[in-house]
Amino acid sequence: MRSVFFHLIGVTRQEIAERLSALATPNGWENWYLPHGSSSPVLYLGFYDDLLAEAEPADMESLRALLGMMPAVTVMASVSGRVPGDAEVRSLRR
Protein backbone atom coordinates (compact mmCIF):
# COMPACT_ATOMS: atom_id res chain seq x y z
CA MET A 1 0.00 0.00 0.00
CA ARG A 2 1.28 3.48 -0.83
CA SER A 3 -0.07 6.85 0.25
CA VAL A 4 -0.67 10.09 -1.60
CA PHE A 5 -1.07 13.32 0.34
CA PHE A 6 -3.31 16.21 -0.67
CA HIS A 7 -2.29 19.47 1.02
CA LEU A 8 -5.20 21.89 0.79
CA ILE A 9 -5.47 25.62 1.41
CA GLY A 10 -8.48 27.91 1.59
CA VAL A 11 -10.81 25.20 2.92
CA THR A 12 -11.90 23.88 6.29
CA ARG A 13 -11.82 20.34 7.59
CA GLN A 14 -15.63 20.38 7.72
CA GLU A 15 -15.89 21.40 4.05
CA ILE A 16 -13.57 18.59 3.03
CA ALA A 17 -15.41 16.07 5.21
CA GLU A 18 -18.67 17.04 3.52
CA ARG A 19 -17.12 16.77 0.06
CA LEU A 20 -15.58 13.37 0.82
CA SER A 21 -18.87 12.14 2.25
CA ALA A 22 -20.56 13.07 -1.03
CA LEU A 23 -17.87 11.39 -3.19
CA ALA A 24 -16.92 8.32 -1.20
CA THR A 25 -18.34 5.69 1.12
CA PRO A 26 -17.97 6.41 4.87
CA ASN A 27 -15.63 3.96 6.59
CA GLY A 28 -15.68 4.97 10.25
CA TRP A 29 -15.14 8.39 11.83
CA GLU A 30 -13.59 10.80 9.28
CA ASN A 31 -12.56 7.94 7.00
CA TRP A 32 -13.88 7.01 3.56
CA TYR A 33 -13.14 4.74 0.64
CA LEU A 34 -13.44 4.88 -3.14
CA PRO A 35 -14.98 3.87 -5.45
CA HIS A 36 -18.24 4.79 -3.76
CA GLY A 37 -20.21 1.69 -2.75
CA SER A 38 -17.57 -0.73 -3.95
CA SER A 39 -17.02 -4.06 -2.21
CA SER A 40 -13.36 -3.79 -3.28
CA PRO A 41 -12.04 -0.32 -2.33
CA VAL A 42 -9.12 1.16 -4.24
CA LEU A 43 -8.46 4.28 -2.09
CA TYR A 44 -8.81 4.61 1.65
CA LEU A 45 -9.16 8.28 2.62
CA GLY A 46 -8.73 10.15 5.87
CA PHE A 47 -7.39 13.32 7.41
CA TYR A 48 -3.67 13.37 8.11
CA ASP A 49 -3.01 15.19 11.38
CA ASP A 50 0.64 14.24 11.92
CA LEU A 51 2.26 16.37 9.24
CA LEU A 52 4.04 18.78 11.59
CA ALA A 53 5.23 15.99 13.87
CA GLU A 54 6.48 13.67 11.12
CA ALA A 55 7.82 15.94 8.37
CA GLU A 56 11.34 17.30 8.36
CA PRO A 57 11.65 21.09 8.87
CA ALA A 58 13.17 21.51 5.39
CA ASP A 59 10.22 19.66 3.86
CA MET A 60 7.80 21.89 5.73
CA GLU A 61 9.58 24.98 4.44
CA SER A 62 9.41 23.65 0.88
CA LEU A 63 5.69 22.97 1.29
CA ARG A 64 5.10 26.44 2.73
CA ALA A 65 7.01 28.03 -0.16
CA LEU A 66 5.09 26.00 -2.73
CA LEU A 67 1.64 26.74 -1.29
CA GLY A 68 2.39 30.25 -0.05
CA MET A 69 1.24 29.16 3.42
CA MET A 70 0.88 26.04 5.49
CA PRO A 71 -1.93 23.70 4.41
CA ALA A 72 -5.23 24.15 6.21
CA VAL A 73 -6.09 20.47 5.75
CA THR A 74 -4.15 17.43 4.64
CA VAL A 75 -5.92 14.33 3.31
CA MET A 76 -4.11 11.04 2.95
CA ALA A 77 -5.23 8.59 0.28
CA SER A 78 -3.86 5.11 0.83
CA VAL A 79 -3.88 3.11 -2.37
CA SER A 80 -4.83 -0.54 -2.12
CA GLY A 81 -2.11 -2.88 -3.30
CA ARG A 82 -4.62 -4.79 -5.45
CA VAL A 83 -4.67 -2.17 -8.24
CA PRO A 84 -2.42 0.71 -9.33
CA GLY A 85 -4.99 3.35 -8.28
CA ASP A 86 -3.56 6.03 -10.58
CA ALA A 87 -6.90 6.87 -12.21
CA GLU A 88 -8.66 7.05 -8.83
CA VAL A 89 -6.01 9.39 -7.39
CA ARG A 90 -6.23 11.64 -10.46
CA SER A 91 -10.03 11.77 -10.22
CA LEU A 92 -9.88 12.63 -6.52
CA ARG A 93 -7.47 15.45 -7.27
CA ARG A 94 -10.23 17.27 -9.12
Q: Binning pLDDT at 50, 70 and 90, where does residue 82 land?
A: confident
Of the candidates 69, 11, 1, the one whose C-alpha atom is nearest the C-alpha of residue 41 is 1
Indicate whether 75 belongs to any domain: yes
Rounded to an integer, what distance in angstroms lies between the CA atom of residue 8 and that of residue 30?
16
Structural domains of the chain, count: 1
Indicate whether 85 belongs to any domain: yes
Rounded to an integer, what distance in angstroms lies between the CA atom of residue 75 and that of residue 6?
5
Predicted confidence (pLDDT) per residue in 53-62, tens digit: 999 999 999 9
Indicate whether 94 belongs to any domain: no
- Of the chain, the percentage scoring pLDDT greater than 90 comes to 78
Of the candidates 43, 57, 60, 48, the one whose C-alpha atom is nearest the C-alpha of residue 16 is 48
Q: What domain range is 79 assigned to?
A: 8-89
Q: Are 1 and 85 contacting, i.e. CB atoms less than 8 angstroms apart?
A: no
Q: Binning pLDDT at 50, 70 and 90, where does residue 49 land?
A: very high
Neighbouring CB atoms inside 10 A of 8's CB total 15
pTM (2 d.p.): 0.90
